[in-house]
Amino acid sequence: MKETDLYPPIKAYLEKQGYEVKAEVCACDIVGWRGDEAPIIIELKTGFTLPLILQGVDRLAMSDNVYLAFAAVKDGARNSLWKNNRKEILKLCRRLGVGLMSVHFRKKNDAVVEVHLDPKPYVPRKNKKREGRLLREFESRVGDPNEGGTTRQPIITAYRQDGLRCLKFINKNGPTKLADLRNKTGVERASGILQANHYGWFERVSRGIYDVTPKGKDALKVFAEALKALK
C-alpha cells in the first residue's frame, strides 16, 4: 500500500461535505477548503507513526484544523501502534489538538473513511484524586529506593515498605498477633497488609496470629538493601 492510495477515498469523503480538495499544497498532503471556514489539512501515512505525528504538529502553524490519517489494516502487524495503543493514541491526539481518521480498504477500489476524533483546542483537566495519591505515596515512601526507568524489578512502594517492616518483625519474633504487630512496628495498615497478603509473605496460623511463609523468607534476602533503609 502507498500513501497515495489514501487520497481518493479521503478526497471523496471531504467533497461530499462540500469541501474543495487539492493535494500537495505547500507540502501538505491534502487541503480542503469550504466557504469562509479555515482550511482543513490532512497528513497521510500508511500506518500510525511518529513521523505522522510530527508532520501534523508542524501543520498546526498553518491551520487549527489538522487531521492525521492512516490506513487501518484489518490484520495489522503485531507491533502496530494503532492496534496495541488505540486509547493512548486518542488521548495524545486530544492533547495535541489534532484530529484523527483512518481509511479501511474493503476491496481495491472500495474504502471507508472513519473519523475517530475532530481537532479542537485541548483544555487540560487535573485529576485531584490522582494528584493526592501521588503526593501521599511520595510523602509516605522512605528514602529513594528505586532507580528511575526501572522495568524488570519490583518497585519499592510505601506499601511494600510497610509489608517489609511487618515481615522483618514477625521473622525476628515468631508468630505475632495483629494488634501487637501494629503497635510494635507503627504500621497502621498492618491488618490489611497481612490479610490481603498480596506478596504471599504471610500465613495465618490461628485467629489474628500470623507467621512468615517460605516466600517471605526469600523476600528478606531479595529486599535486604531496602530493609536496611527502614527504621
pTM: 0.65
C-beta separation of 59 from 92 below 8 A: no
Domain ranges of the chain: 3-117, 142-228
Q: In this predicted model, what pLDDT tens digit does every residue of 27-44 receive, in sequence order?
A: 899 999 999 998 999 999
C-beta separation of 61 from 96 below 8 A: no
| Burial of 123 from C-beta contacts in 10 A (0-12 / 13-18 / 19+) | exposed
> CATH assignment of 142-228?
1.10.10.10
Helix (H) or strand (E) holding 138: helix 128-140
Q: Domain spanning 3-117: which CATH class is it, in words?
A: alpha beta
| C-alpha cell, 208 | 489474628
Q: In this predicted model, what pLDDT tens digit does every residue of 147-182 receive, in sequence order?
A: 887 777 889 999 999 999 999 999 999 999 999 999
- Cα dist. 113→34, 51, 75, 89, 155 in Å? 19, 21, 17, 18, 44
- b (16+ CB within 10 A) / e for 60-93: eebbebbbbbbbbbeeeeeeebbeeeeeebeeeb
pLDDT at 101: 95
pLDDT at 151: 74
> Which residues, in sequence order, are CB contacts of 107 under 8 Å at separation 6+?
none
Is 142-228 in the same CATH topology as 3-117?
no
